[in-house]
Structure 1
Amino acid sequence: MTLALDQTRANARADHAGIRRWLWIVAGLVFLMVMVGGATRLTGSGLSITEWKPITGAMPPLSADAWAEEFGKYRASPQYQLLNEGMSLGQFQFIYWWEWGHRQLGRFIGLIYLAGFLVVALRRLLPARQTATLFGMGLLLGLQGTIGWIMVASGLQPGMVAVAPVKLTLHLTFAGLFFASVVAFATTLTPLRRIEPVRGRGAAWLLLLLLFVQIALGGLVAGSKAGFTFNSWPLMDGALVPPGSQLFARTPFWENFVDNVALVQFNHRIGAYILFAVALWNVLRLRRAAPGSGSARRSTAIAGLVLAQSALGVVTLLLVVPLWAGLAHQALGFAVLAMGVVHVTRTEQASRG
């Protein structure tokens, strides 16, 4: 019986090895995309291309006249007129290449995903339900690209010098959703090496939910540039909890959660504390209930990553968001997300036997 089970698992691993490699490549590219997107934002490059041309936009300017035309379009934008007036062509080319590279990488991810999906679907390498799931994930990827343009368009409106924080947050969150779906699917196709007890299923889902909430709160911090203010820790402007008059200074009330840099940053701080507390509680609980299990080891790794991510967030804040720290903070955040997704997926696999 044991030999038959081992052979079945070996066959499953062999059958799905190519699909898993494809999915992990896609996940790696999305991870890189998030980093390039962060650099595009931190260098102020995201509004340098003022048009959305999914096909013809793949070609960059190749002549002096083409560069002059692109620069002319940017000079007509509010960001140039209100923030970057007098920018040289060389300075424009610097921010243009960042945004062009970001969009090119998005196109490349779409092509790699489409090619892999067509192979899986046409050769019927997976059951119909899993193939349909991959199709839905492809739609999610397409939606993510559309949200990216909606985000850019919000920054091209009169009086705007940056994209709307809510739309940047949606763009980041949907990137996280697609990334998580790819990691989960790849993990599902990898059979468990050993049977492990089902422990902490609810806590695993709670951790994953909190990770997504924290990523969304981080998107609001990035979109409102809240990281460039209150650059001290653990106090904010000399107080552990800023006064209500500062946290809720805007009207209407809900706008404080999006555009009030004090409340936006405070929420992100509180989110980090809650996330670490839940991760630590989960470790202690699993190490008592199932010591040495895969669940206990994964929960320990997640808690360690959350602690490291929190420490890096503090460093980023204290240094007033240098490029390297901002990108490292974003990268580690998605690494924690990947680990949280693997933890949930493995827990679900164990619960199904």
Structure 2
Amino acid sequence: MALVRANPPYKSIRIWLFVCCGFVFTMVLLGGITRLTESGLSMVYWRPVTGWLPPTSDSAWASIFDAYRNSPEFVKLNFWMGLEDFKRIFWLEYLHRLLGRILGIVYLLPLLWFAFRYRLTTRLTVSLGLLFVLGAAQGVLGWYMVKSGLVEEPSVSHYRLAAHLGLAVMIYGIMLFIAIGLRPGRRKSFRSAYGSSWPAALVFTTMIWGAFMAGLDGGSVFNTFPLMDGHFFPPYSLSSSPLVLNLFDNIGLVQWLHRILATVTVTVIIWIWWRDRANRSTALNILGAVALFQFGLGVLTILSEAMIFIAWAHQAGAMILFSAAVWRWRETRH
């Protein structure tokens, strides 16, 4: 079924969707640096309608800082902070939220314009409308995640962190998939589309366990490679009961799974790259190159004990790798 009606403005629709993809990509990276710098709990309230403007006066800053000073994070961890220190962590979280609000407008207004001008099919209008609903749900989920750290133990739930990242990546992937599919011209013929969705699925799953690892501060332990402090399988990795909880809660097992998933992902991508060597596309070549680079970044992140810049680059690499995987998947669809 066609995604757009006869004689549609292909270029304007594609550009709009790619711009929105850029916003989501940037938000994921901004959220990552916010987490790495431990800035995410600096705003202890959520005002989606009235919270657009930052504090601009001394009294406004004092009010926001007073609210933060009553939070568990300040009382237990950041009691040494003055107002200037607080401002440094506030701005990252504020910009992350502001970008989400701007994205909502950048996405919704053109969507309404294209829909009411009958330039989109019903199918695509519904699909993009559901993406907007998912985006709104993502905002709620973001606050739900932050709220988990505004309790007696000032630490964000790694489950909610993984859900927040997962939904963002899912929205990004669907949007990118649609945008690439709107390119004009005939698709190339590939030897086989078999397994074309595997890289995207594997990268996504690896990213989810990376989020579990980040939420548990898993980069601070087992900082050796390829073995984990001399072990292939880390000790005490099945210590929780029931056993299934170890998959998500045990730092050693979570890191081990992230390593294994990353290894499987790279292996599958290189296998596909080799299998289709007679007719490699640009997307497949980029996918293979980025996969190897991202694996190396992952190793460097572990060895550096998750140094902020390296860990942030690793998250950016994951998003680039996922983008390449979605690109490859979309171009093999007939």
Q: Same fold (TM over 0.5)?
A: yes
1:44 aligns with 2:22: no
Q: Residues 198 and 347 of structure 1 are in contact (CA less than 8 Å); yes or no, is this contact kept in structure 2?
A: no
Structure 1 residues 61-100: aligned runs within 5 Å? 61-100=55-94
What are the Cα deviations for residues 143-193 of structure 1, in whole angstroms up to 9, with x where unaligned? 1111111100111122x2221001000000101001101111111100345
1:228 aligns with 2:209: no
Pick the structure with more helix per residue. Answer: 1
1:215 aligns with 2:200: no
Question: 1:313: how far off?
Answer: 0.8
Q: Unaligned stretches of 5+ in structure 2?
A: none
Match of 1:339, as an amino acid? A
1:292 aligns with 2:292: no
Separation (CA, whole Å) in 2 of partners of 1:161 and 1:192: 53
* Aligned-pair Cα RMSD in Å: 1.7
Task: Provide closer, same or farther for how the CA distance between residues 120 and 285 of structure 1 changes in structure 2, counting only shifts above 3 A.
Answer: same
1:264 aligns with 2:258: no
Q: Residues 248 and 260 of structure 1 are in contact (CA less than 8 Å); yes or no, is this contact kept in structure 2?
A: yes
Matching residue of 1:253: 243
Task: Provide closer, same or farther for how the CA distance between residues 253 and 107 of structure 1 changes in structure 2, counting only shifts above 3 A.
Answer: same
- Match of 2:276, SS? helix
Q: Residues 187 and 331 of structure 2 are in contact (CA less than 8 Å); yes or no, is this contact kept in structure 1?
A: no
Separation (CA, whole Å) in 1 of partners of 2:250 and 2:290: 29
- Match of 1:247, SS? coil
Separation (CA, whole Å) in 2 of partners of 1:92 and 1:251: 40
Separation (CA, whole Å) in 2 of partners of 1:276 and 1:225: 24
Question: 1:117: how far off?
Answer: 0.6
Question: 1:28: how far off?
Answer: 0.9
> Which of 169, 188, 194 lines up with 2:162 in the alignment?
169
TM-score between both structures, scaled by the size of structure 1: 0.89
Matching residue of 2:150: 156
What are the Cα deviations for residues 178-233 of structure 1, in whole angstroms up to 9, with x where unaligned? 1101111111100345541351x331112211111011011111111101111111
Q: Residues 313 and 329 of structure 1 are in contact (CA less than 8 Å); yes or no, is this contact kept in structure 2?
A: yes
Matching residue of 1:318: 303
Question: 1:293: how far off?
Answer: 4.6
1:337 aligns with 2:316: no
1:238 aligns with 2:230: yes
Q: Residues 144 and 171 of structure 1 are in contact (CA less than 8 Å); yes or no, is this contact kept in structure 2?
A: yes
Matching residue of 2:111: 117
Q: Residues 312 and 325 of structure 1 are in contact (CA less than 8 Å); yes or no, is this contact kept in structure 2?
A: yes
Matching residue of 1:8: none
Matching residue of 1:143: 137
Separation (CA, whole Å) in 2 of partners of 1:110 and 1:249: 44
Matching residue of 1:189: 182
Question: 1:126: how far off?
Answer: 1.3
Separation (CA, whole Å) in 1 of partners of 2:280 and 2:78: 56
Identity of aligned residues (%): 37
